[in-house]
Amino acid sequence: MKKNVRFIVGLVLGVAVLIAGFVVYESYSSTFKTKKAAVPVENKLSNKQIKSNNSNGNGISNNCEKIKSSSPEARKKIIVIDPGHADRSNLEKEPLAPGSSEMKIKDGGGAEGVVTKTPEYSVNMSVSMKLKALLESEGYTVKMTKTKISESLGNVERAEIGNKENADLVIRIHADSSDSSKVSGASMLVPEPINENTKNINEKSMYYGKTILNVLVNEVGMNNRGVVQRNDMTGFNWSKVPVVLVEMGFLSNAEEDKLLCSDEYQNKLAQGLCHGIKTAVK
C-alpha cells in the first residue's frame, strides 16, 4: 500500500510539474508569438495605407508637397497670366519705357473673328481662365492681372503686377490678326534687350518663350511662326520679371477663327500652354 501511495503521489507531482511547465511555456511562447505576429499586422496596415494613398494618386506626392511647403527655399513658382485687351479701348497714353519720352496708347483694342465676329478679349479671357485652373492643379501659384473683360488696364499697370508678385513668368495671352486671311499659326513675342529691365530678363524670356511655343504648336498641331523679339511693347519694357506674349492663332483666318472660339480648342490651347510652362519653368 505504502509503495502504491508513494507511486501515486509521485505520479501526481510529476504530472503537476509537467502541467506547470507546459503552462509557463505556453504563456511565454504565446507572448512571443503575439509580438512576432504584431510586426506583419503593422506592415499590412502601412502597406494598405500606402496602397490606398497611391490609388488616390496623391499619397506620396501629398507627402512631398508637405515637405516642400515646409521648406522655405522650395516656394511655389508664381505665374502671372495677363489676358489681353478689354471690352473697351483705353486711349490714355503712357511712357513706352521707364524714362522714355515716347508715349503710347494704353489699349487700342484687339482683333475680331473674321467669320464669328468674336472679339479677341473674349477668346483671351476664356483661355486665360482655363490655363489658370490647369496651372493651379499642377501646384503653381497663379495671379491674374484681371478677371473681368470690362477692366481696361494700361500696360505699365499690367507689368507692375508681375513685378510686385516677383513672378517667375508673366504670360500674356493674345490672338493675332493679319490683312491676309491665309496667314495662320502661333508666335511668341519676347522683350528685346533695350534697357536695364529688358537686358536682365531677355535670356530667360527667350528660353521660356521658345520652349512654351514649341510644346504648344506640337500639341495643338499648328503652324509655328517662331519667337520674335520686340522693343515697341510697353508691357515688356516695364517688366523686371521674365515675360512672354503668345499669339495663339489668327482671328483673321476663317478656319482658326472658328477654332479659337470653340471650347474644345480653347481647352487644347490651355493644355498646350500649361505643358509648355511645366517644361520651361522649373
Binding mask 15-54 for Zn ion (x = CB under 5 A): ----------------------------------------
> CB of 174: closest distance to Zn ion in angstroms?
4
Q: Exposed (0-12), middle (13-18) or buried (19+): which is 29, by Cβ within 10 Å?
A: exposed
* CB-based closest residue to Zn ion: 174
110 is a site residue for Zn ion (CB under 5 A) = yes
* Contact yes or no for 151/228 (Cβ under 8 A): no
Q: Which is nearer to Zn ion, 119 or 162 (CB)?
A: 119
Side-chain-side CA neighbours of residue 81 (13 Å): 27
How many Cβ atoms sit within 10 Å of the Cβ of residue 190? 27
H or E stretch covering 144: strand 141-144
Using the rule CB under 5 A, is 174 a contact of Zn ion? yes
Q: Does 84 bind Zn ion (CB under 5 A)?
A: yes
Nearer to Zn ion, 174 or 240 (CB): 174
* Phi and psi, residue 257, nearest 5°: -55, -50
106 binds Zn ion (CB under 5 A): no
Is 268 a binder of Zn ion (CB under 5 A)? no
Q: Give yes or no for residue 83 binding Zn ion (CB under 5 A).
A: no
Whose grid coordinates read 490647369?
134
Report the C-alpha gap between 152 and 87 in whole angstroms: 8
According to the binding rule CB under 5 A, does residue 158 interact with Zn ion? Answer: no
Cβ-in-10-Å burial (0-12, 13-18, 19+) of 89 comes to middle
Q: 124 or 197, CB closer to Zn ion? A: 124
Q: Which stretch binds Zn ion (CB under 5 A): 7-15, 35-43, 79-87, 267-275?
A: 79-87
Closest approach, Cβ 252 to Zn ion, in A, equals 12
Query: Are the C-beta atoms of residues 194 and 239 closer than 8 Å to each other?
Result: no
Please say which residue, 98 or 108, places its beta carbon nearer to Zn ion.
108
Binding site residues, Zn ion, CB under 5 A:
84, 110, 174
